[in-house]
Amino acid sequence: MFKLNLEPNQPKSHPGDQVFDVLIVGAGSAGLTTAVYTSRDGWQTLVLDKEAPGGLAGSTHWIENYPGFPDGVEGPELMDRFKAQAERFGAEITAYERVRRLEKNQAGLFELTTEDDRVYRARAVLLATGSEPQQLGIPGEETFYNQGVSYCATCDGPLYKDQDVAVIGCGNSGLQEAQILLQYARSVTFVEYLDHSIAEQVLQDRVKSSAKSTCLLSHAAREIQGDEQVTGLVVENLETGREEQVDVSAVFIYIGYTPSTDFLEGFLDLDESGYIITDREMSTSVPGVYAAGDVRADNLAQVAVAVGDGAKAAVAIREYLQEQAPVPA
């Protein structure tokens, strides 16, 4: 039986003059794939993540469209396999290291500074920081975060067994994550701004076939209510303008994602939405810095695509490092 092992590693103490061949920011599908390749090639590889390894895929309950798993696979299990494979080849993976700044020093090395003021240096960098859930920006959302407001059904869904919950957003993310809510909750109310769902048809069919589901299309969430915990959600019917309250114990929000690139502004080229611009080899506007996965502009947010990005980036990094003369520490 495969044992999940997404436990975070503690930051290790590195000598101040240590230089890694490859520094990867982000331990999701793309970052871990690159780590498998670069560490297997013999390049000294360090992977940092602001949270536990796994990325968004690691918090996805069930993944059915990743090749090689005909019956589907749990997101945490799949990502643990990625992590174990990278570590097998010698990659070092460290969690809870949030990056504050990335720059290039006079010696030609990349220096990455974390919020804890740790400084890591490397000859090449891969940015696989992914994206973070967007917020609605409505009253009660911030107040009741972790008190009924959640952006991760896989993480928090089991807490609401036999209770009524709501899901905001009926795209792929919302309906996919709702599968776990339908297992635990007494009822799930879906709220969608559009008059239709843009999710894959198989996900729509599953939601519609569940007796626990209620779908409010052409509705917008206006306020999350509660005392110490969430007790209700106010929604507006966009066709009539009428507001109504839905009694729920939790609100799960899936309205899109924002790229995790705030520390990169001014360092390399980003598009108007903050995603990293790359060429076909995953190279950014800064030689020696590459990007892969959901953080890359014009990218399809799928595990299989992120894996492909990671492999292409690894090959480009190999060629880049082979062309560089050794850099003194």
Q: Do the beta carbons of residue 20 and residue 120 sit within 8 Å?
A: yes
Helix (H) or strand (E) holding 101: strand 99-104
- Which residues carry out catalysis? 152, 155-156
Is position 13 within any domain? Answer: no
Q: Do 309 and 230 share a structural domain?
A: no
**Which of these, 57, 58, 48, 60, lies nearest to 9 by C-alpha position?**
48
Q: pTM, whole model, 2 decimals?
A: 0.78
Looking at 227, 253, 279, the residue that finishes a domain is 253
Q: Do 246 and 174 share a structural domain?
A: yes
- 165-190 confidence digits (pLDDT tens): 999 999 998 998 899 899 999 999 99
Q: Which residue has the tokens 């990056």?
A: 99
Number of folded domains in the chain?
2
pLDDT value for 1? 35
Is position 274 within any domain? Answer: yes
Q: Do 149 and 117 share a structural domain?
A: no
Q: How many CB atoms lie within 10 A of CB 127?
A: 32
**Which of these, 249, 254, 298, 307, lies nearest to 276 by C-alpha position?**
298
Give the dihedral of Cα atoms 77, 79, 82, 86; nearest 10 deg: -120
| Residue range of the domain that includes 35 | 19-132+257-323
- 278-309 confidence digits (pLDDT tens): 999 999 999 999 999 999 998 888 899 999 99
The CATH number linked to 115 is 3.50.50.60
Looking at 194, 223, 253, the residue that finishes a domain is 253
pLDDT value for 140? 97
Residue type, 52: A
Question: Could you tell me the two tokens for 90?
Answer: 């010698």
- 261-271 confidence digits (pLDDT tens): 999 989 999 99
The least confident of 64-68, 76-80, 138-142 is 64-68
Residue 259 has pLDDT above 60, yes or no: yes
